[in-house]
Amino acid sequence: MMTILRSLLREKPVLIDLVFIFFILCIFLTVFIFYSPKEVINLIIEWNLGREWSQYWWGLYFTYLVEIFFIVLLWDLVMYRLFFVVNFIYSELTHCLITKRWLIVKLVRLKYGFDKLYYYLRPGMIRSSSQSRSDLIDEVMAPILSDWIKFLFFLSVSINSILATILTFLTYDESLINNIIDYSSEKWADGLQFLWDNFTKLSAVVVFVLLIFLWYFVSRFGVRKRAIAQANKKKLEDVIQLFRKLDEPISNVILKGSENIQYAINCYESILEFWMFNKYPGAFNQGSRNYLETIWKREGSDYFLFKDITELNDLLKDLEPLSAPENKNSAQWFSRHKFELVQFTNITTNQISNLEKYERLLFTKKGFSEMTEKKHSNFQIQNDMEVEESKIKDEQDFFVRYVLNRNIVQGIELLYAFYRYTEVINTTLHMESDKLGRGVRLFTGKE
């Protein structure tokens, strides 16, 4: 714990984020300690109604809209900064507890749960960009006037706008609202009577509506729209079959990968000693060096009993069509309704894109060999070199934190993301998962 606190004090941005979150929490706790939620709501309503511009309904509406916007913005900012704090604490804890297998797995599962909450609860109003200036492509793809009109339209029908409208309707003028309700009730009865008296005249309206639909079905516009819809449906069906095909190779990768990572944790000290011997054999005394040379110089990384995972080739072969340009958009659209599918898609298409990365994270024979022997095979030259202890310590710390520990943690994260994917995709694509939908389609003839 002290190590984490010292690391936190060295990381000023994370410390500032933590102070900001603590300050916001203190403000909210102070408010709700002295006032009940009902009193807080009443105070806000009284303040809003007391403004001069609130005499008009549109003034009260924009007051609520601005307040809701700032509340959502503050919530988004807190979640955005909390994400960095949690990531920092998670990184430090996994580094300190790397040999505690059950704790590492619990931390990975908790972090996955936090990421899921973050995905669903964060509005996404605040975005960061690594670009300091715009490029030509940004100027070419800049929004045009119609894009801004669409943006304003969707903003007017957003949840924030609808909520502001409801609050305005409920608090603007109670007598006026009652008059509107009474007037609507009276006119509703008169409207029903009017429809009953002119029932025979409705046939012309029905025929007119049918003609509009008929024009749609026979027009070029309607034919084009139906063809696009059918093509998109066929593309989505093909993508679903690609997702279904991944189940078997992923299950095999989970089983064999978990065995390799468990073996790496159990042999943690030996792996570190093996890397040290490859890099700086002169750091060992003569007796230890002679003994280790008889074992490790002859066998190399094959001394460790890591297993190859042949299913990785099958997995990459099945993943390739999903990331192809013709299927990528459909795969992302299908995955969007479930965090587990989104996480799986992000991992397999963005974070991990080649076989070597998978082999390092899952500690296959080849992956472990690249991790520990890639640049340190010349024993004789290394043996004659005298290296300062500080340099050895720095390189050892770097290897432990950013190579060995990171690969173990990211390997467990990969396995858990794969496991959650298989659970969700099997539930989603199971034959019993859509009983109600099948019944509705059977009743409407739209199966």
pLDDT in tens, 150-167: 767 666 667 888 888 888
Read off the pLDDT band of 35 (50, 70, 90): confident
Distance of CA 177 to the CA centre of its chain: 43
Quick one: which of 12, 125, 129 has its CA closest to 77? 125
288 domain residue, yes or no:
yes
Quick one: which of 98, 396, 410 has its CA closest to 275? 396
Among residues 125, 144, 165, the one where a domain terminates is 125
Quick one: which of 118, 372, 337, 367 has its CA closest to 243? 337
Among residues 125, 151, 177, the one where a domain terminates is 125
Highest mean pLDDT among 116-130, 213-227, 299-313: 299-313
239 domain residue, yes or no:
no
Contact 160, 66 (CB under 8 A): no
Q: Which domain holds residue 74?
A: 2-125
Contacts of 116 (CB under 8 A, 6+ apart): 339, 340
Domain identity same for 294 and 434: yes
Burial class (CB in 10 A: 0-12, 13-18, 19+), 359: buried
Domain identity same for 265 and 121: no
Judge whether residue 383 has pLDDT over 60: no
pLDDT in tens, 423-436: 999 888 876 666 55
Residues 137 and 121: their CA atoms lie apart, in Å, by 32
pLDDT in tens, 316-349: 888 888 888 888 888 888 888 899 999 998 888 7
Contacts of 172 (CB under 8 A, 6+ apart): 57, 60
End-to-end CA distance of the chain: give it in Å, rounded.
Answer: 59
Which sign does the torsion angle of CA 106, 360, 14, 23 carry?
negative
Contact 118, 83 (CB under 8 A): yes
Judge whether residue 70 has pLDDT over 80: yes
Residues 125 and 123: their CA atoms lie apart, in Å, by 6
* Residue 296 pLDDT: 65
Q: Which two tokens stand for residue 414?
A: 């990969």
The model's pTM is 0.81
* Residue 384 pLDDT: 42
Element (H, E) at 133: none
Contacts of 131 (CB under 8 A, 6+ apart): 138
Q: Which of 61-70, 97-106, 177-186, 329-338 has the lowest mean pLDDT?
A: 177-186
36: three-class secondary structure by DSSP: coil
Highest mean pLDDT among 121-125, 307-311, 372-376: 307-311
Q: Which two tokens stand for residue 269?
A: 């000290």
pLDDT in tens, 239-274: 999 998 898 899 999 999 999 999 999 999 988 888
Q: How many domains does the chain have?
A: 2
281 domain residue, yes or no:
yes
DSSP alpha helix (H) spans, 11-100:
12-34, 37-49, 57-96
* Residue 106 pLDDT: 95
Contact 321, 327 (CB under 8 A): yes
142 domain residue, yes or no:
no
Residues 355 and 365: their CA atoms lie apart, in Å, by 13
145 domain residue, yes or no:
no
Q: Which two tokens stand for residue 354?
A: 């080649």
20 domain residue, yes or no:
yes
Q: What percent of the chain has pLDDT over 90?
A: 27
Residues 198 and 175: their CA atoms lie apart, in Å, by 34
Contacts of 3 (CB under 8 A, 6+ apart): 92, 96
Burial string for 41-57 (b: 16+ CB within 10 Å, else e) reads eeeeeeebeeeeebeee
Residues 45 and 121: their CA atoms lie apart, in Å, by 26
286 domain residue, yes or no:
yes
Among residues 125, 156, 180, the one where a domain terminates is 125
306 domain residue, yes or no:
yes
Burial class (CB in 10 A: 0-12, 13-18, 19+), 252: middle
* Residue 144 pLDDT: 78
Judge whether residue 288 has pLDDT over 90: no
Which phi and psi angles does 142 have, rounded to 5°? -65, 145
Residues 333 and 341: their CA atoms lie apart, in Å, by 10
Contact 420, 340 (CB under 8 A): yes
Contact 425, 247 (CB under 8 A): yes
Q: What is the mean pLDDT of the chain?
A: 80
pLDDT in tens, 179-210: 666 666 666 666 666 666 666 666 667 777 77
What's the average model confidence in pLDDT over 389-402?
85
